[in-house]
C-alpha cells in the first residue's frame, strides 16, 4: 500500500492512478490523516480492503458543483459532519455562536453548515438522484432514530429521512463500512442491504422486518413526552452488540426506519490493525498556508489505548456510540506508535495522554461481557460497583511504565480522565501512588460533576462519599510522596434534578473546600443521552418518575453563578438565588456566608440562630454608636 495522503482534488486522484473512485467521502472537518479522526480511519480501512476513496473536505454547501470534484463515485458517497456534532461545534449551550472551529484550517468558523450531514446529503441528491449515500460519524450515529433536538427545541425524525441517505453506519463503523462496501461491490442494490449489524435502513415493506421490537409511532412520541421517554429507554437498553434487539420506528403506514443490532466489538488484534494503517499523522499540506488545523495539537502527541466506556454517566452518549464494552490495543501496538511520535522534530518530551473515554479502563468490566454483553438494565459502577466488576490496574500500569522509559520521554501524562470511583475500589493502591508520582503535573482533573446525592443519582454518578474518599486518599498519597498536587473537579450546573437548593449545596461544598472553579459547564442537552431525555420530557426514563428541570435561562444563570459565587460579576445573581431559596443566612460576614451584604444591609440569622454579621463587625458598630452618643449626635 503506497503511503501518502488520499486525493482531495481531481489532479491528485489522477496522479494516484484512479480514474473513478469507489467512494467519495464528504466531511465537515478539514482532512486530517490521523487515527483520532473518524474520516481517516474509515478511509484507510476501505483502502486496506482494496477500495479507493476521494476526500471532499468542507464543500461550499451553497454551490452544487462543490460536491462534484471527482464526479460520480463507482459505489457511493460517504458523508460525515466531522468529529463533532455540527451544532455542538457551532453553538455554546446558551445557543451563542462560537468564535473558533478547531477542526477547520486556521480555526475559522463558518466553513460547514448547521446540521451538516443533512445539508451535504441534500446537496448530493440534487446532482445524483440514485447514487447510494451512506452517512456516519457522531452526528448521524446519535440521530439515527427519532430524537430531541435542543437547538430547534423539537422532536426530529431519524436523520436518515431528513438527509435522503440510504444507510447509516452507526457506532465506530470499521466492521459495517467494509460489509457495506463489499455488498455494493457485489452488485447488490443499496435498498437490499438490510442485514448488516451496526446499520440503520429505511423500508416501505413492513413484512421484511423480522425479529424486531416496534417502537411507538413517530406521531405518538411527538405528541406525548411519556411515550418518547419509554421509546428512548427501549433504545438505551438495546445498544449492546450481544443482547441488543433489532428496533424499528413507524412514520406512516408505508415508511419504517429499522435499526439493526450494534456491530460486534473489535478484538485486540483488529484494533491493532486499525492503528497500524499508513496514516500520514497530520493535516493535508494544502492547509499550511492557513496556519494548519488547530485540533491536531490536542492529539499529535497522545496515544489511544482503548475505546468504549461502562461508566454509564447519564449525560454521555458513549453508550449509543462506542458502547459499554471496552476494546483495547496491545502494548506493542501503542509502543510502536509512541516510537513514531518521540522522534518528531517538535516533540518536547511529553506524551500528553494515554487513554480513551476513560483512561484507566483497560479491560471489559467482567468476563461475561465478552460473550453475553453488558447488562441491559444494570450499570457496572452505579450506584455501587457490581459484584462481578473486575478492578485491576496492573495492565495499564505496566503500559505506562514501558512508555516512561522510552528515549526522549520526560513525562507521560493522563489527560483523558481517570474514573476515581473505579480507582478507589482497587484494593491495591499501587496505581494511585504511581499516578501521583509520575503522571500528574501539579494538578489532576477529575469529574465528580456535582456533590448533591439527589443530582448525582440523576447523573448516574456515585454518591459524594465516594468522591470524598478519593480526595482523602489522593491527599494522603501526595503527602507521603512529599508532593503538593491538587485536584481540579469538573462541575456541571443545571443538570436535571438540580434545583436552587442543590446548587447552593454545591456552592457551600466549594466554600468549605476553599476552591473556586475557573470554568463551569452548563448541562448541554445533546442527542441520545438519558439526561437529554430528562431535560425534554421531565421524566427519568429509567423509572418514569418526574424530574425537576431548570430550563429557564435566568435560573440556569443563577445556578451557574452559585458555583462561582466569589466572582464579583455574579453577586446580583447569587444574592437573588439565595433570597429565592430562603437562604438569607448565607448573606453576611460570617465565615460560612457566600456573599457579604451591600448598602449597609446586615445579614440575617443563620441556621444556628446566630447573626451572620461577624462578632468583630458587631463590636465595631457598637463602638461607633458609643462615640456618636458622646458627641451628642
Q: Which residue has the higher pLDDT, 441 or 492?
A: 492
Q: How many Å apart are CA 161 and CA 136, to the nearest integer?
A: 14
Confidence of residue 600 (pLDDT cuts 50, 70, 90): low
Question: By the 8 A CB rule, do 166 and 129 touch?
Answer: no
Question: pLDDT at residue 268 above 50?
Answer: yes
DSSP 8-class letter at 65: G
Tell me if 411 sits within 8 A of 435, measured CB to CB: no
User: Which are the contacts of 608, defined by CB distance < 8 A and separation ≥ 6?
Assistant: none
3-state secondary structure of 355: strand
Condensed to tens digits (0 to 9), the pLDDT of residues 328-347 reads 999 999 999 999 999 999 99
Cα separation, 99 vs 14, whole angstroms? 38
- Domains (range + CATH), the chain: 10-201 (3.40.50.2300), 309-366+377-415 (no CATH)
Q: Each residue of 89-132: pLDDT tens digit? A: 999 999 999 999 999 999 999 999 999 999 999 999 999 999 99
C-alpha span between 327 and 358 (Å, rounded): 11
Positions of E strands within 64-132: 76-80
Residue 618 has a pLDDT of 42
Of 361, 378, 362, 140, nearest to 243 (Cα)?
378
Question: What's the pLDDT score for residue 109?
Answer: 96
Binned at pLDDT 50, 70 and 90, residue 625 comes out as: very low
Average pLDDT, the chain: 93
Angle between helices 530-537 and 225-236 (to 10 degrees): 170
Task: Quick: pLDDT tens for 610-624.
Answer: 454 444 444 444 444
3-state DSSP percent of the chain in helix, strand and coil, to 5: 40, 15, 50
Residue scoring higher pLDDT (516 or 611): 516
pLDDT band at 601 (very low <50, low <70, confident <90, very high): low
Pure H helices in 439-541: 453-459, 464-481, 500-513, 530-537
At 509, the pLDDT band (50, 70, 90 cuts) reads: very high
Q: What is the pLDDT of residues 284-328, one digit of tens each?
A: 999 999 999 999 998 999 999 999 999 999 999 999 999 999 999
pLDDT for 630: 44
* Helix or strand run (H / E) with residue 159: helix 159-163
DSSP annotation string for 184-236:
HHTT--GGG----TTEEEEES-GGG--SEEEPPPHHHHHH-HHHHHHHHHHHH
First to last CA, the chain: 96
Cα gap 460→355, rounded to integer Å: 22
Say what the pLDDT of residue 591 is: 92
Per-residue pLDDT, averaged over 442-467, amounts to 95
What local confidence, expressed as pLDDT, does residue 441 receive?
A: 83
C-alpha cell at 29: 472537518
Q: Which of 227, 284, 306 is nearest to 56 (CA)?
A: 284
Beta carbons within 10 angstroms of residue 420's beta carbon:
24
CA–CA dist 198, 81 (Å, integer): 18
In this predicted model, which residue has the larger pLDDT, 622 or 521? 521
Mean pLDDT of 575-581: 97
Q: What is the pLDDT of residue 417?
A: 85
Residue 409, C-beta contacts closer than 8 angstroms, at least 6 positions apart: 338, 342, 349, 350, 351, 403
**Tell me, what's the pLDDT at 626?**
41
Which stretch of 182-186, 376-380, 430-434, 560-564 has the lowest confidence by average pLDDT?
A: 376-380
Q: What is the 3-state secondary structure (H, E, C) of 284-344?
A: CHHHHHHCCCCCHHHHCCEEECEECCCCCCCCCCHHHHCCCCCEECCHHHHHHHHHHHCCC
**Confidence band of 598 (pLDDT split at 50, 70, 90):** confident
pLDDT at 472 (0 to 100):
96
Q: Average of pLDDT values for 575-595?
A: 96
State the average pLDDT over residues 223-242. 97
Cell numbers at 102, concatenated: 478547531
CA dihedral over 352, 357, 360, 361, signed as positive or negative:
negative
User: Tell me, what's the pLDDT at 629?
Assistant: 44
For residues 558 and 583, what is the distance between their CA atoms, to the nearest angstrom? 14
514 pLDDT band (50/70/90 cuts)? confident
Spatial distance between the Cα atoms of 214 and 174, rounded to a whole number of angstroms: 27
**pLDDT, tens digit, 9 for 90 and up, residues 392-409:** 999 999 999 999 999 999
Amino acid at each position: 500500500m503506497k503511503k501518502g495522503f488520499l486525493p482531495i482534488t481531481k489532479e491528485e486522484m489522477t496522479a494516484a492512478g484512479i480514474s473513478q473512485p469507489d467512494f467519495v467521502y464528504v466531511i465537515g472537518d478539514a482532512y486530517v490523516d490521523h487515527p483520532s479522526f473518524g474520516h481517516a480511519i474509515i478511509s484507510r480501512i476501505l483502502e486496506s480492503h482494496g477500495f479507493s476513496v476521494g476526500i471532499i473536505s468542507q464543500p461550499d454547501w451553497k454551490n452544487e458543483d462543490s460536491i462534484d470534484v471527482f464526479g460520480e463515485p463507482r459505489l457511493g458517497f460517504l458523508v460525515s459532519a466531522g468529529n463533532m456534532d455540527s451544532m455542538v461545534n457551532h453553538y455554546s449551550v446558551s445557543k451563542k455562536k462560537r468564535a473558533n472551529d478547531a477542526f477547520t484550517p486556521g480555526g475559522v468558523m463558518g466553513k460547514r453548515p448547521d446540521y451538516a450531514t443533512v445539508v451535504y446529503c441534500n446537496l448530493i441528491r440534487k446532482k445524483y438522484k440514485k447514487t447510494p449515500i451512506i452517512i456516519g460519524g457522531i452526528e448521524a450515529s446519535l440521530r439515527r432514530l427519532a430524537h430531541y433536538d435542543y437547538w430547534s427545541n423539537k422532536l426530529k425524525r431519524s436523520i436518515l429521512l431528513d438527509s435522503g441517505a440510504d444507510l447509516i453506519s452507526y457506532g465506530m463503523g470499521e466492521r459495517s463500512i467494509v460489509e457495506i462496501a463489499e455488498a455494493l461491490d457485489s452488485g447488490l442494490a443499496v435498498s437490499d442491504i438490510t442485514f448488516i449489524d451496526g446499520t440503520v435502513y429505511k423500508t416501505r415493506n413492513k413484512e421484511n422486518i423480522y425479529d424486531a421490537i416496534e417502537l411507538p409511532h413517530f406521531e405518538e412520541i411527538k405528541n406525548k413526552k411519556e411515550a418518547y421517554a419509554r421509546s428512548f429507554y427501549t433504545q438505551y437498553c438495546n445498544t449492546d452488540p450481544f443482547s441488543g434487539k433489532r428496533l424499528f420506528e413507524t412514520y406512516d403506514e408505508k415508511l419504517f426506519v429499522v435499526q439493526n443490532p450494534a456491530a460486534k466489538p473489535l478484538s485486540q488484534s483488529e484494533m491493532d490493525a486499525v492503528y497500524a494503517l499508513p496514516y500520514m499523522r497530520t493535516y493535508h499540506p494544502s492547509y499550511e498556508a492557513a496556519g494548519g488545523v488547530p485540533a491536531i495539537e490536542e492529539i499529535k502527541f497522545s496515544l489511544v489505548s482503548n475505546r468504549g466506556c461502562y461508566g454509564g454517566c447519564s449525560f454521555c452518549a458513549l453508550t449509543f456510540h462506542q458502547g459499554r464494552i471496552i476494546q483495547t490495543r496491545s502494548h506493542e501496538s501503542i509502543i510502536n506508535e509512541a516510537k513514531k511520535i518521540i522522534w518528531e522534530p517538535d516533540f518536547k518530551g511529553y506524551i500528553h495522554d494515554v487513554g480513551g473515554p476513560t483512561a484507566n479502563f483497560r479491560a471489559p468490566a467482567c468476563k461475561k461481557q465478552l460473550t453475553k454483553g453488558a447488562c441491559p438494565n444494570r450499570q457496572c459502577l452505579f450506584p455501587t460497583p457490581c459484584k462481578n466488576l473486575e478492578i485491576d490496574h496492573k495492565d495499564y500500569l505496566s503500559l505506562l511504565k514501558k512508555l516512561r522509559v522510552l528515549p526522549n520521554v520526560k513525562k507521560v501524562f493522563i489527560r483523558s480522565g481517570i474514573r476515581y470511583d473505579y480507582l478507589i475500589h482497587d484494593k491495591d493502591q499501587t496505581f494511585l501512588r504511581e499516578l501521583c508520582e509520575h503522571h500528574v503535573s501539579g494538578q489532576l482533573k477529575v469529574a465528580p460533576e456535582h456533590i448533591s446525592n439527589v443530582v448525582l443519582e440523576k447523573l448516574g454518578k456515585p454518591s459524594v462519599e465516594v468522591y470524598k474518599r478519593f480526595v482523602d486518599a489522593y491527599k494522603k498519597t501526595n503527602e507521603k510522596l512529599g508532593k503538593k498536587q491538587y485536584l481540579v473537579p469538573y462541575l456541571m450546573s443545571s443538570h436535571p434534578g438540580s434545583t436552587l437548593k442543590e446548587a447552593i449545596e454545591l456552592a457551600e461544598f466549594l466554600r468549605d473546600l476553599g476552591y473556586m472553579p475557573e470554568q463551569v459547564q452548563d448541562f448541554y442537552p445533546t442527542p441520545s443521552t438519558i439526561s437529554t431525555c430528562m431535560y425534554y420530557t421531565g421524566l427519568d426514563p429509567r423509572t418514569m418518575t418526574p424530574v425537576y428541570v431548570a430550563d429557564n435561562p435566568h435560573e440556569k444563570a443563577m445556578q451557574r453563578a452559585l458555583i462561582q459565587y466569589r466572582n464579583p460579576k455574579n453577586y446580583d445573581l447569587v444574592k437573588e438565588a439565595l433570597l429565592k431559596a430562603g437562604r438569607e443566612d448565607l448573606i453576611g460576614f460570617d465565615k460560612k456566608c457566600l456573599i457579604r451584604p451591600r448598602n449597609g444591609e446586615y445579614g440575617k440569622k443563620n441556621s444556628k440562630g446566630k447573626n451572620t454579621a461577624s462578632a468583630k463587625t458587631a463590636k465595631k458598630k457598637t463602638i461607633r454608636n458609643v462615640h456618636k452618643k458622646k458627641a451628642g449626635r
